[in-house]
Amino acid sequence: MSSVYQHFRKEEQGFIDRVLGWKQDTETMYAPKLTDFLDPRQVFIVQSLIGTTGEVRAAFEGGEGAERRRCLIYPDYLQPAFDDFNLLLIEVSYPAKFISVEHKDVLGSLMGLGIKREKFGDIIFSDDKIYIVVAQEFSSFFTMNLNQIGRNAVLVKEVSWDHYSPSDEKWREKFVTLSSLRLDVVIAGAMSISRQKAQLLIQGGKAKVNFKAEEHPSFECGEEDILSVRGFGRLRIGEIEGKTKKDKYRLKLYTIG
């Protein structure tokens, strides 16, 4: 087991245990297991531990181009279909001509209702509407309880997937060569700022890793981490392509902002 842990962070061991438990249950019961919504780093861990071949496999769905997705861990006899992921789409209407609503406002209102983040997927702004991908088993809670965002009244209803359109955010691919995978080094290299400025932003509470605040510049980044820095946008770490002859890391990054 320790050989598995060594490839991941110490704080990820609890999630690793859960994934291995899901895999074992599927092997033993020969029946599929559907998870909550996973962030990209968690998806990467599941893919690393289970993969898409063998007697137990993993598939993911959250809508086209989704960042957060549910995972179906299934025996190889099964051919997963979209309906197996139990996803519903809810539409949030608000007076867009008179008020401005941001992603953080929606997220804050949902969390304020006691809804755990893993129970819903991407939040998508499209024209004058907001669409939220939710777990089918909790959809009625959303439609019955989400009646305002901030101080503004909203109308919520379930809609068909015909209304769904992927986020229009465009990830830009770039390659960087870095001396290490420290958070301050990655942010500095990806966002073309000095390492000292990156450290100040991190220590000032303006950086997040996988949607959680991270104030330690020495934090070690990994594949499929999503980093965001207030005022500078977001980036996702793709492949870590090894080291150069000068012992530097070559990374594929995707940036927004």
For the cut 80, the answer to whether the pLDDT of residue 1 exceeds it is no
pLDDT tens, residue by residue, 153-201: 999 999 999 988 877 667 889 999 999 999 999 999 999 999 999 999 9
Domain finish residue from 163, 181, 211: 163
CATH code of the domain in which 181 resides? 3.10.290.10
Average pLDDT of the chain, as a whole number? 92
pLDDT at 163: 87
Provide the pLDDT for residue 131. Answer: 95
pLDDT at 2: 61
Give the range of the structural domain holding residue 145, as residue numbers without chain letter.
87-163
Domain identity same for 129 and 205: no
Same domain, yes or no: 217 and 189: yes
Which CATH number do you get for residue 56? 3.30.1370.160
CA–CA distance, 223 with 17 (Å, rounded to integer) = 19
Q: Are strands 69-75 and 120-126 parallel, antiparallel or unpaired?
A: unpaired
**63 and 35 part of one domain:** yes
Q: Work out how many domains the chain is built from and give that number.
A: 3
Residue 257's pLDDT band, with cuts at 50, 70 and 90, is low
At residue 151, the pLDDT reads: 85
Per-residue pLDDT tens over the stretch 97-148:
888 888 889 999 999 999 999 999 999 998 789 999 999 999 999 999 999 9
Q: Locate tokens 């005022």: which residue?
A: 231
Q: What is the dihedral of CA 104, 123, 166, 48, to 10 degrees?
A: 100
Locate 11 and state its tokens.
Answer: 């704080």
d(CA 111, CA 117): 7
CATH of the domain at 93: 3.30.70.330
Q: Are residues 150 and 102 in the same domain?
A: yes
What percentage of residues in the chain have a pLDDT greater than 90? 77
> What does the pLDDT look like over 201-243, one tens digit per residue?
999 999 999 988 999 999 999 999 999 999 998 999 998 988 9
Reported as a single tens digit per residue, the pLDDT across 17-69 is 999 999 999 999 999 999 999 999 999 999 999 977 789 999 999 999 899 99
